[in-house]
């Protein structure tokens, strides 16, 4: 399974970023190889609009199965859903903790966005 976690930093000890579209980075973790890749989200940090859509498209290109973030807007949620990517809302700790919760099926999957568009 490939898991993308919105991250405030660039390693597994970083805190989960509660924002999706304007997260600093995404950590893409592969549970089969036990390896990860840092995907910068610099282009969307200060975007006037479309940050959620762009971030969702960037994550979808990484062929992930699950996204973990604190919040997801409606457009980002729609893009992820259309790509067949599941999402879970969680931002109470580190990226490593989020990955462990996901691996152990301890995260509740989202069935809708939890914030409106242009939430910051």
101 three-class SS: helix
- Asked if residue 112 belongs to a domain, the reply is no
Q: Is residue 81 part of a domain?
A: yes
CATH number assigned to the domain comprising residue 39:
3.30.420.130
Do the Cβ atoms of 109 and 87 come closer than 8 Å? yes
pLDDT in tens, 78-94: 999 999 999 999 999 99
In a domain, 29, yes or no: yes
Helices (H) and strands (E) in the chain, counts: 4, 5
Q: Is residue 82, in this structure, part of any structural domain at all? A: yes
The domain total for the chain is 1
In a domain, 120, yes or no: no
Identify whether 86 is part of a domain. Answer: yes
pTM, two decimals, is 0.92
Other beta carbons less than 10 A from residue 50's beta carbon: 13
Domain region containing 39: 2-103
CA distance linking residue 116 with residue 38, whole number of Å: 27
6 found inside a domain:
yes
pLDDT in tens, 24-76: 999 999 999 999 999 999 876 666 667 889 999 999 999 999 999 999 999 99
pLDDT value of position 13: 98
Model confidence at 118: pLDDT above 80: no
Dihedral sign for Cα atoms in the order 6, 9, 15, 21:
negative
Residue showing tokens 């940050």: 51
**Does any domain span residue 111?**
no
């Amino acid at each position: 399974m490939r898991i993308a976690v919105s991250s405030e930093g660039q390693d597994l000890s970083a805190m989960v970023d509660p924002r999706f579209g304007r997260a600093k980075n995404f950590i893409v973790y592969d549970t089969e190889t036990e390896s990860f890749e840092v995907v910068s989200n610099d282009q969307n940090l200060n975007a006037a609009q479309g940050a959620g859509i762009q971030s969702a498209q960037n994550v979808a290109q990484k062929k992930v199965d699950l996204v973990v973030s604190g919040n997801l807007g409606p457009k980002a949620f729609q893009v992820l859903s259309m790509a067949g990517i599941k999402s879970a809302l969680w931002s109470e700790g580190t990226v490593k903790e989020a990955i462990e919760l996901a691996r152990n099926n301890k995260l509740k999957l989202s069935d809708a966005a939890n914030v409106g568009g242009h939430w910051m």
